[in-house]
Amino acid sequence: EFWGFFTIFGATAIAVFGISLQTVAYLIDQGFEPVFAAFSFGLIGMLTIAGIAITGILADRFPRHIIATCSYGLTVLGVIALACLQVHQSEILLAIFIVCFGLSAGARGPIITTQMAELFAGRGLASIFGATGVGNGCGAAIGAFLAGLSYDITGGYSLGFFVSLIFLCIGMSMFWVIPGIKNNRIK
């Protein structure tokens, strides 16, 4: 289960940081005014607060792997909407990205930390939190690096979007394939 949580943190961070750190530059490249692009990025941050709170409430009432999957679905929908801006500049697509990505960025945090606290209660929990946090930090660094590298190699953002979508699927799959995470108990 530990490595499942480590993978969730790492894969999700690769995906989210691969998108978020490129957002303003990407929107400007798609023809949006710099101030509007920066404002859009700020809205994502504001919605993240609400998304984390809502996810925490829902995860106390419904199966956590289902809520996590829904949050990943929102992130995927947001990334697809953002990618579609390459084909058609649309405020509607941008709004879909802002709302979906904003409400889901960071949303897995309450689910993961609660499950870890329940599964690994007792001495050593802080060490486990710290070790999985390394996965998150490494994922953030790798995601930012891969997004920049893919842009430098291809001159576009499509490869970065694709890589992020793959890592979102990897993170989400851990909620389904690791029994202790899916069922919230260690055998």
In tens, the pLDDT along 50-90 reads 999 999 999 999 999 999 999 999 999 999 999 999 999 99
pLDDT of residue 120: 87
Q: With respect to residue 86, please indicate whether it lies within any of the assigned structural domains.
A: yes
| 38 three-class SS | helix
pTM of this structure: 0.92
5: exposed, middle or buried (C-beta count within 10 Å: 0-12, 13-18, 19+)? buried
Q: With respect to residue 187, please indicate whether it lies within any of the assigned structural domains.
A: no
Neighbours of 55 (CB within 10 A): 24
pLDDT of residue 182: 81
Question: Would you say 79 and 27 are in contact if contact means Cβ atoms under 8 Å apart?
Answer: no
Q: With respect to residue 16, please indicate whether it lies within any of the assigned structural domains.
A: yes
Residue 134 lies in domain: 2-182
Question: Would you say 49 and 110 are in contact if contact means Cβ atoms under 8 Å apart?
Answer: no
For the chain, how many structural domains are there in total? 1
How large is the average pLDDT for residues 158-162?
A: 96
pLDDT of residue 77: 98
pLDDT of residue 181: 80
Quickly list H helices, the chain. 2-20, 23-29, 34-61, 64-84, 91-104, 108-119, 125-154, 158-177, 179-182
State how far the Cα of 168 lies from the Cα of 159, in Å rounded to an integer. Answer: 14
Per-residue pLDDT band for 185 (boundaries 50, 70, 90) equals: low
User: Is 132's pLDDT higher than 60?
Assistant: yes
CATH at residue 69:
1.20.1250.20
